Amino acid sequence: MKLLIKHGHVLDPSTGIDGIYDLLIENGMIKAVEKHIEGEADEVVDASDRYVMPGFIDLHVHLREPGFEYKETIKTGSMAAARGGFTSICAMPNTNPAADSVESIEFILKKAKKDALVNILPVGAITKGQSGLELTDISGMVKAGAIAISEDGKSVMDTSIYLESMKIAGKVGIPILAHCEDKSLVGIGVMNEGAKSRELGLPGISNAVEDVIAARDIILAKEAGAKLHLCHCSTKDSVTFVKMAKEDHLPVTAEVCPHHFTMSDDEIASDHGNYKMNPPLRSKEDVQALKEGLRDNILDVIATDHAPHGAEENNQSMAAAPFGIVGLETAFSLTMTELVKEGYLSPMQMVEKLSYNPAKVIGIDKGSLAVGKIADVVIGDPNARYKIDVNEFVSKGRNTPFDGKEVYGRIETTIVAGKVVYNITRSEEI
Q: Of Zn ion, ligand NCD, none, which one does residue 277 interact with (CB within 5 to 8 Å by kind)?
A: ligand NCD
Q: Of ligand NCD, Zn ion, none, which one does residue 300 interact with (CB within 5 to 8 Å by kind)?
A: none
Alpha helix (H) residue ranges in 310-427 = 311-314, 331-335, 347-351, 357-362
Which one, 31 or 196, has the nearer CB to ligand NCD?
A: 196
Active site residue 305: yes
The binder of Zn ion chosen from 179, 196, 259, 306 (CB under 5 A): 179
| Rounded Cα–Cα distance for residues 99 and 120 (Å) | 13
Choices 175-183, 197-205, 248-256, 326-334; region in contact with Zn ion by CB under 5 A: 175-183
The binder of Zn ion chosen from 12, 65, 100, 152 (CB under 5 A): 152
Residue 393's closest CA among 58, 70, 84, 68? 84
Residue 70's closest CA among 243, 285, 300, 314? 314
Check whether 64 is labelled as a binding-site residue: yes
CA–CA distances in Å: residue 138 to residues 147, 179, 220, 228: 10, 18, 18, 15
Q: How far is the CB of 193 from ligand NCD (least distance, A)?
A: 16
Site for ligand NCD in 140-179 (CB under 6 A): 152-153, 179
Instruction: Determine if 400 is a binding residue for ligand NCD (CB under 6 A).
Output: no
Strand 406-416 and strand 419-423: pairing? antiparallel
Total number of residues shown for the chain = 430
Binding string, residues 38-77; x marks residues near ligand NCD by CB under 6 A: ------------------------x---------------
Which one, 51 or 261, has the nearer CB to Zn ion?
A: 261
CB-based contacts of 360, cutoff 8 Å, min separation 6: 367
Contact 304, 58 (CB under 8 A): yes
Contact 402, 281 (CB under 8 A): no
Which one, 94 or 368, has the nearer CB to ligand NCD?
A: 94
Q: How far is the CB of 179 from Zn ion (least distance, A)?
A: 4
Question: How would DSSP label each residue in 294-321?
Answer: HHTTSS-EE---B----HHHHSS-TTTS
Exposed/middle/buried for residue 164 (C-beta within 10 Å: 0-12, 13-18, 19+): middle
- Which amino acid type is present at position 245? A
| Rounded Cα–Cα distance for residues 427 and 177 (Å) | 33
The binder of ligand NCD chosen from 94, 95, 119, 399 (CB under 6 A): 94
Which one, 181 or 300, has the nearer CB to Zn ion?
A: 181
Binding string, residues 276-315; x marks residues near ligand NCD by CB under 6 A: -xx--------------------------x-x--------
Check whether 179 is labelled as a binding-site residue: yes
Which one, 71 or 410, has the nearer CB to ligand NCD?
A: 71
| Rounded Cα–Cα distance for residues 233 and 211 (Å) | 9
CB-based contacts of 60, cutoff 8 Å, min separation 6: 90, 92, 152, 177, 231, 232, 255, 257, 303, 304, 305, 306
Alpha helix (H) residue ranges in 94-137 = 102-115
Check whether 309 is labelled as a binding-site residue: yes
The binder of ligand NCD chosen from 323, 341, 423, 424 (CB under 6 A): 323
Strand 2-12 and strand 17-26: pairing? antiparallel
Which one, 230 or 379, has the nearer CB to Zn ion?
A: 230
Tell me whether the omega of the peptide bond preceding residue 97 falls within 30 degrees of 0, making it cis.
yes
Q: Tell me which of 217, 305, 376, 381 is the catalytic residue.
A: 305
Q: How far is the CB of 323 from Zn ion (least distance, A)?
A: 9
Check whether 274 is labelled as a binding-site residue: no
Annotated binding site for substrate: 62-64, 94, 278, 309, 323-324
Annotated binding site for Zn(2+): 60, 62, 152, 179, 232, 305
Annotated binding site: 60, 62-64, 94, 152, 179, 232, 278, 305, 309, 323-324
Interacting residue ranges for ligand NCD, rule: CB under 6 A: 62, 94, 152-153, 179, 277-278, 305, 307, 323-324
Catalytic residue ranges: 305
